[in-house]
Chains A and B, each alone.
Chain A
């Protein structure tokens, strides 16, 4: 069992792009909720800015749109073809990746991607502002869920499946860490003005952006505290978007590949180390020694893991 490196590369990026599309949709959804807040004032502008920062396109946005309004942000994050991370771009890139390796994906997986692409083209023909934002966000999440389901239910659980999952979890770890980093200050004890309405809103925003708002209550019950939220999103294995969950899954799929190919690999070693460190970590210690530094470091290490995977598998030696 082995496959062309280019095939593995396409599968890896196919899922990465779809995960990114979902992240963008979630960020848009959060922005939309903020816009509904009464008298948000300067804080309102600030939140849009942090959403754009989390989406990684603040500078590009400023130079092309200027004013931050729900309409301009929607345009930028959903439709804009110049924005490499827009939902429209992510979906068509994911579909392109699948198209060139058609024989490596099942027809259900292809249908899910091709269907999303065809719908997307219809949205584009109608142009921004025609469908309401929540509909677009819901639609995006439904498409990504459809793909995930198609992968789980129809793909052979072999190396190709592992590369798809690595794409998902590498991208998700990166996205979670970035979103946390943009808002890290609200999780710091210094800004822990418990009971403050705005802060409360900031935390819930973060949880909503990760679609784990209700899950948090099930896991922790009671009130939000910055410590609990940070723990949930970084160190709680049961949270599907937490950094440790992503590390665990990446490690699992790399271990499967190592076994299947009978090779010991550098990325597997890296993932194992990352997982072990997260398992031993203590949230208070992380906050104490610098949450921002921790997150920046995690983003860097995730990127390094990604390039080790590329070096080991996706370029195929030679």
Chain B
């Protein structure tokens, strides 16, 4: 798997397999709570964001699964997690394409995790270019941009 954020490829400090695994499916993570740090949990696209609030102080990363390039549930989950107060690392993991990147960042994700084959077909330059291609945004977003409505208000 390859990991990138808005600056390019990055090393993944989280490990899924082996004795030192610290990125765990939500069920397996429950017993590691308080014992393992940093700790990441992986949640499916069916996750109820409300049910995760109790874990916010005990996990450092939440990875949301995107099972297909047409499946946008993860965007709502990510945004809801931020609204509910999660301040740790937020990862979109799975079948994303570069054209999803800007939306993921806008919804509060920090990073995207894709498989090696996709990383070879869609190299990091394409992700970074896609992330910045649309300048303004009408929506209130979490990627540092001010919304058009806010900009008009300030003008």
Pairing of A with B: no
